[in-house]
Structure 1
Amino acid sequence: MQFTSAIALVVLAYTSSVQAAPAPAPAASGLSLTQQLSIADTAVDRFALLPDNKQFVFDFNTKQNNPGKGGELVAANRKTFPALVGSGAGMAVGRVNPCGMNTLHVHPRAAELQIVVKGRLVTEMVPENGVNDANGKRRVITNTVEAFQMTPFYQGSVHTQFNPDCEDAVFIAAFPSEDFGAGQIADETFAFSDDVIAATFGQTIAGADIDKVRKGIPASIANGVDECLKKCKIPKSK
């Protein structure tokens, strides 16, 4: 009995010493909070760097900087929401205006699970080379996703969403990455040199017109589709 009590005292003493461990010393000056969290020795040290409970809440009501004409997207990643460091997850909320389109894009570091919570979206996705339809042509997976339905977009797949209605559509996107990233296909394509672009399109774009195409590329979520614009009485952007 005395031996058991002695062990219990040792365990309690060890537990107390762990709980009473001092907070980690501040990281070198100049490091962002995300950087400090990334190099913290343990999860316990990370929590010590987040002393305010409000640091664990992200507000998707925050407005996006420089949104496209067709809506906006607010992303919670390791930079905008440092509490995600160590979670392996990220999220985004998108609002797509009537007739708005989230233009062709990819996520280089994560798959996306997207659920529509208001309105509906027409989605299209091309997974990769070799994924063909019954006719041997490249397969385009197209769906109309209604409210509280979900669709996946695989990591690296090219995909887009379009709001065919005259009211806003809202979606939530979950990612298994703290830094999922995004790349707009048209913008990235026309960032290459004129020679590369002309060769890629089989010389179908005159060199003199390439800059015109570049200037016409919209921001991430753009207005589009003539039929919808007419139905919703939305004038075309000039």
Structure 2
Amino acid sequence: MPEILEASLSKRDQAFLVAAFAAAAYATPMGSGSWGSSSTGYGSATWTTSTTTTTSSGSYSSSTSASASVVPNPVPSSGVVAELLTADSTVDRFKDIQKEIAAGDVSLKFDFNPAANPAAPVGMGGQVDLANRANFPILTDLGISAAGIFFKPCGLNTPHIHPRASEFLTLVTDNNLLTGFVLENGLTSEFNTTLTKFQGTVFPMGSIHFQQNLDCTDAVAIAGLNHEDPGASSLAQNFIINLDVDVVDAALGFPKQIDGSNFAAFKANIPGSLAKGVEECLVRCNIPY
């Protein structure tokens, strides 16, 4: 299978996923329930997953259980990034970081564990825990950031762009995941590739890209990005939900099946990212939708 332009192959034959700090993410247990939930708050958490799915091609079984004591990542004090950006030198900046570490407002490590990131939005198909300069200020002026991506079975990281960063993604669990991107006007062919455990791929800055867990088990990946504030714009959500309805209608060619009478209901059904997944995977894994 070629590494690019595999669009001629069926998507169900392709696989995916992401990014680069395998040890941290691979050690993070995942469950198909609510990640990071705990009877004692975010200081401890237990995940248990036990799934048996029967399809026309056979049965898929998975069982994962783990217990972890998790401390949320510290919340930086207000204005600390602005101070670091205006430090006179790199040495001065790291002296300020030392002070923040001593005060307990900044750490030298970032925990991608979902339970350590209670503020991260959780979608029906999983969640993304991003370490950027806002929540991990030591990244300030280093030109890098990273994200832990936690996919539930069939979970889809919906098409999006990063306006300020290219991305390198590595799959760190034993899964099959599909990735794809479209570069820009002038080259609109979709670049697809299939990743398995410890394989990686890239998404150029500004390209429309996605990741799809094709398996009936959870998947974990890490993404490295070459900007400390990479940004993200989810296309379906921002285009259809947030733009002027008349502009969207014109851009779509005035479709008759989606018009003023049903557009509000159409918008209401667009999921946040990560979405539940594509229909073929949901049917194969016996996931209601």
TM-score (norm 2): 0.67
Amino acid in structure 2 at the alignment position of 1:113: F
2:157 maps to which residue? 102
Unaligned runs of 5+ in 1: 1-29, 132-137
Corresponding residue for 1:69?
Answer: 124
TM-score, length basis structure 1: 0.80
Counterparts of residues 7-22 of structure 1 (less than 5 Å): none
Given that residues 120 and 128 in structure 2 are in contact (C-alpha distance below 8 angstroms), is that contact kept between their aligned partners in structure 1? no
The Cα of 1:101 is off from its aligned counterpart by 0.3
**Bigger fraction of residues in strand:** 2
Q: Which residue is 1:42 aligned to?
A: 89
2:127, 2:150 within 8 Å by CA — same for their partners in 1? yes
SS of residue in 2 equivalent to 1:50: helix
CA distance in 1, matches of 2:120, 2:168: 24
Equivalent residue for 1:128? 184
Task: Report the Cα distance in structure 1 between the residues aligned to 2:219 and 2:78, rounded to whole angstroms.
Answer: 38
Which of 41, 49, 55 is the aligned partner of 2:107? 55
* Counterpart check, 1:153 vs 2:230: no
CA distance in 2, matches of 1:31, 1:100: 34
CA distance, structure 2, for counterparts of residue 31 and residue 183 of structure 1: 25
The DSSP-based 3-state class of the residue aligned with 1:212 is helix
**2:139 aligned with 1:89, yes or no?**
no
Identify the match of residue 181 of structure 1 among 188, 213, 231.
Answer: 231
Greater per-residue helix proportion: 1
User: Matched residues in 2 for 1:150 and 1:31: separation?
Assistant: 36
Residue 231 of structure 1 and its aligned partner are, at CA, apart by: 1.9
Aligned position for 2:273: 220
1:125 maps to amino acid: F
Aligned length: 201
Query: How far off its partner does 1:192 sit?
Result: 1.2
Question: 2:144 corresponds to which letter in structure 1?
Answer: A
Q: Does 1:80 align with 2:130?
A: no
Give the structure with higher Rg (CA).
1
Aligned to 1:229: 282
Q: Distance in 1 between matches of 2:237 and 2:282?
A: 24
Residue 9 of structure 2 is matched in structure 1 by none
In the aligned structure 2, how far is the partner of 1:232 from the partner of 1:31? 45
Query: What do residues 126-161 of structure 1 show as CA deviations (whole Å, max 9, x unaligned)?
Result: 111111xxxxxx301111111111111010000111
Question: Deviation per CA, 1:57-116, whole angstroms, max 9, x where unpaired?
Answer: 111112353311100110010101000012111111101110110001000000000111
CA distance in 2, matches of 1:89, 1:120: 27
How big is the alpha-carbon RMSD for the aligned residues of Structure 1 and Structure 2?
A: 1.5
Structure 2 residue runs without a partner (length 5+):
1-76
Kindly indicate whether structure 1 or structure 2 has the higher relative contact order, using CA contacts under 8 Å at least 6 residues apart.
2
What's the CA shift for 1:188? 1.2
Corresponding residue of 1:19: none
SS in structure 2 at match of 1:223 = coil
Deviates more, 1:85-94 or 1:221-230: 221-230
SS at match of 1:230: helix
Match of 2:218 among 168, 176, 185: 168
Runs of 4+ that moved beyond 3 A: none
**Match of 1:206?**
259
